[in-house]
Amino acid sequence: MDRVNKPAPEQGIKKKILVTGGAGYIGSHVVKALGERGHDVLVFDNLSTGRRDLVLHGTLVVGDLQDLELLDNTLKKFRPDAVMHFAASISVFESVQDPMKYYRNNTVNTINLIDIVVQNGVQNLVFSSTAAVYGVPAQNRPVDERATLLPINPYGWTKLMAERVLQDLSDASRAFHYVSLRYFNVAGADSGGRIGQRYPVSTHIITRCLKAAKGELAVLPIYGTDYPTSDGTCIRDYIHVDDLADAHIAALDHLLGGGTSEVFNCGYGHGTSVRDVVKAAKKVTGVDFRVTEEGRRPGDPPFLVADPSKLIRALSWKPRYDDLRYIVETAWNWEKSL
Ligand code: UFG
């Protein structure tokens, strides 16, 4: 029998969840949320960009997704109820320079993982996808999940291909189900300052503003001031990482409750310009860091805002931190601690 949507499992029922990439920025916030709900968590991470000290709950297995034997043994021993798959390469710019790394890490590794997951009888998978699957949306309006899928960089294609594999497998199988979450601009950090974004090189605007406030970046360049937007700079939908973690918990509950395979946008449904992000960062940090106006960064869509209605409606997702000031404050508290 095909599964139908059923109510989420009762709160407090402990499940075994395997989290690939759980030592990374988003993965570690989801591991925190899983731990707070009493789930038994096993993190599988090669620590190439993740960090051991970001894993607040569960057990860490240091391993690479290309090590299929270790992955298979880990699944056989742990016998998870669900897998949450974060491990991936995430830089749009790097994906243009080195596409094969992205196809290997994001598409091939996902296919191998799915194969092993299915062979081990695991029926539920939550997948980290991205707004990059939409490319440049046709109009300056929030995009819903039915919008045209036309990535403009290898990163977006690698994720879209993995989504397609999941969809085809789910269509063909009566047992396997997945939820793909398409992230918009994820930012902020744990309110307690325990975990946050920590990449070797920061490309994201909020983190770069904070690096400029700390003096680690001499100047914050604004890439493009002639876009067809309210103040000429790009508009993005910044979502707090703990709200995104809640969306993962809702997706997991949906699958564990017997729910169908689904795709959801994750954002708040309204946008903020780069200039407004810079203003907020200056206000929160109290530092009037130097800003220059530069040309456009290749591959930036002018306007990228989620329509999150489906997530709110189908998974009863209730964002708690839809507040740019809070997002920047939590990121700043974390950044100061580094
Ligand atoms: N920006 C600057 N100066 C900087 C850094 C960024 O002006 O120093 C601008 C960018 O040009 C862009 C905006 O700030 O207009 C946001 O840039 P980010 O790099 O923070 O984020 P992106 O919107 O490029 O990236 C996000 C996700 C990706 C996803 C992409 C889809 O992080 O994973 O959206 O377009 F692929």
133 touches ligand 1 (CB under 6 Å): no
284 touches ligand 1 (CB under 6 Å): no
Radius of gyration of the chain (CA): 19
**Other beta carbons less than 10 A from residue 178's beta carbon:** 26
Q: 205, 277 in Cβ contact below 8 A?
A: yes
- Work out which ligand 1 atom sits closest to the CA atom of 153: 36
What is the pTM for the complete model shown? 0.96
Identify the residue whose C-alpha is closest to ligand 1 atom 15: 234
Residue 11's pLDDT is 58
Angle separating helix axes 68-78 and 109-119, nearest 10 degrees: 40
Sign of CA dihedral 54, 58, 60, 66: negative
What is the Å distance from ligand 1's center to 253 Cα? Answer: 31
Secondary structure of 304-317 in HEC code, one letter for each residue: ECECCHHHHHHHCC
What is the Å distance from ligand 1's center to 32 Cα? Answer: 26
What is the Å distance from ligand 1's center to 331 Cα? Answer: 16
Q: Provide the phi-psi class of 93: left if phi over 0, else alpha when psi is between -120 and 50, else beta.
A: alpha
| CB-neighbour burial class of residue 25 (10 A; exposed 0-12, middle 13-18, buried 19+) | buried
Identify the residue whose C-alpha is closest to ligand 1 atom 29: 132
Residue 177's pLDDT is 98
- The stretches in the chain having pLDDT less than 70 are 1-12
Residue 13's pLDDT is 80
**SS3 state at 247:** helix
What is the Å distance from ligand 1's center to 115 Cα? Answer: 33
**Which residue, 117, 123, 129, is CA-closest to 177?**
123
90 touches ligand 1 (CB under 6 Å): yes
Catalytic residues: 155
Residues whose CB is less than 8 angstroms from the CB of residue 108 and which lie 6 or more positions away in sequence, other chains included: none
204 touches ligand 1 (CB under 6 Å): yes
40-45 and 16-20 strand pairing? parallel
What is the Å distance from ligand 1's center to 172 Cα? Answer: 36
Q: Which residue has the tokens 């497998």?
A: 169
Identify the residue whose C-alpha is closest to ligand 1 atom 1: 205
Residue 2's pLDDT is 41
132 touches ligand 1 (CB under 6 Å): yes
Give the integer Cα–Cα distance in Å for 30 and 41. 10
Per-residue model confidence as pLDDT tens digits over 125-184: 999 999 999 999 988 899 999 999 999 999 999 999 999 999 999 999 989 999 999 999
Give the integer Cα–Cα distance in Å for 22 and 281. 28
Q: For residues 203, 209, 212 and 216, what is the CA-based torsion angle, rounded to 10 degrees?
A: -40
- Phi (first) and psi of residue 40, to 5 degrees: -90, 115
What is the Å distance from ligand 1's center to 301 Cα? Answer: 9
Give the integer Cα–Cα distance in Å for 337 and 77. 37
Give the domain 15-189+238-268 fold. Answer: Rossmann fold (3.40.50)
Identify the residue whose C-alpha is closest to ligand 1 atom 6: 205
155 touches ligand 1 (CB under 6 Å): yes
Identify the residue whose C-alpha is closest to ligand 1 atom 18: 204
222 touches ligand 1 (CB under 6 Å): yes
Per-residue model confidence as pLDDT tens digits over 53-71: 999 999 999 999 999 999 9
